[in-house]
Copies of this chain bind each other. A is one copy, B any other.
Amino acid sequence: MSTTPPATPPNPPTAPTRRATITDVAREAGTGKTSISRYLNGEFSALSPELRARIEAAIARLDYQPNQMARGLKRGRNRLIGMLVADLTNPYSVEVLQGVEAACHALGLMPLICHAANEVEMERRYLQLLTTYRVEGVIVNALGVREETLRPVGDGGIPAVLVDRRVEGLVADMVGLDNGAAAELGTRHLLERGFENIRFVVQPFERVSSRRQRVDAFDRAMRDEGRARGHTLVLDLADETAVERGLAELDRAIDSLDGAGTAPRVALFAANAPVALRLALHLNARYGAHWQSRVALLSIDDPDWAELAGITTIRQPTYDIGYRAVEFLHERIEGAQTGARDCLLPGELIVRASTAR
């Protein structure tokens, strides 16, 4: 690294210009604070055109911008909502975020994005912070934790909407993929395409409701087809040693099943994009660029590299999920008292070379 000297002349040590307040504007316009406040809130019907003009001029002259903090303090509402994201490196989260932002824009809300980075402690801290900043509501894409850590939200606390994952013991609105239908869709697709050996690969799912639902639906779909039950491989991506153990097990299965001539290939059903990526990287390293001729890969989530790799996916309606979550939250903020609602959106199967006939 190189910290180079200033490329531009040093700025003159301007006195940290104190921002103008409503009082300054009032004085500048030769009137009282109230009129300024009225002007700011669009109550023009109560302002003479003449006064209004003077105020406009004063505001422009002072480059005045109302202090939202003070506003919120008085009003009791600040139009802020929190968006707590478990893992921004997962493209799913970013896509949901876009829906959230669009909806906020439309509803006059301001989303504060907080990134827990898969750390329970971070989640706790941010939740605490959002609470002390008195956001009007939160959208929570929670880590797989129990209700305890999200004490301040939900029932007695500030309004909350869950995204993708439910939290044990917390009654709140919930928006996400219809995991059951999606996993079934994927499983049936693989069966239709003639894959006999299907393995569902998922991160530890005991504490994450969406993963659990996907596993369950996979098992059910396999049973419905007469299979005893599907094989499931749990891959804890946070533990590299465990991952390698799991992948070794997978390799053995592939080798033993795959040996017999033109036997149908093994199919892997990844529960989400991070898992799919890890699998693809491993298979690519082990079997070379042609790994897809030995193993088919299907994944829930449709990251941008899926098209490049040619793997089949089930795309989530991420944008809609985010948008809907904000709508739910907005209704709550406006005082809706209905019981906890669920909104389950369907996934879309995108067939690519990996499972094409």
Contact = CB atoms under 8 A, between A and B. Distances in A.
Number of copies: 2
A4 B94 contact: no
A241 interface: no
Interface stretch (A24-32, A68-76, A191-199): A68-76
Contact of A132 (B67, B114, B128, B133): B67
A145 interface: no
B337 A308 contact: no
B73 A342 contact: no
Contacts of A78: 69
B101 A344 contact: no
A346 interface: yes
B70 A11 contact: no
- Interface size classification for chain A: 35 or more
A42 interface: no
Contacts of A152: 65
B88 A94 contact: yes
Contact of A69 (B11, B72, B89, B171): B72
A129 B78 CA distance: 12
A345 interface: yes
A66 B128 CA distance: 11
A38 interface: no
A117 interface: yes
A89 B115 CA distance: 15
Contacts of A346: 1
A117 B128 CA distance: 28
Nearest to A4: B342
Contact of A6 (B101, B303, B320, B340): B340
A97 B115 contact: yes
Interface stretch (A223-231, A252-260, A263-271, A276-284): A276-284
A3 interface: yes
B131 A117 contact: no
A2 B176 CA distance: 11
A8 interface: yes
B68 A134 contact: yes
Given A1-B346, A101-B117, A277-B308, A9 B339 contact: yes
7 contacts: A1-B344, A8-B339, A70-B73, A88-B88, A88-B97, A98-B115, A281-B307
Given A14-B155, A88-B94, A277-B304, 13 more contacts: A1-B320, A2-B178, A11-B171, A13-B337, A67-B73, A68-B132, A68-B134, A69-B69, A69-B72, A101-B117, A113-B115, A284-B308, A305-B309
Q: Which 7 A-B pairs have the closest CB atoms?
A: A10-B339, A305-B305, A6-B339, A113-B113, A68-B132, A8-B171, A4-B342
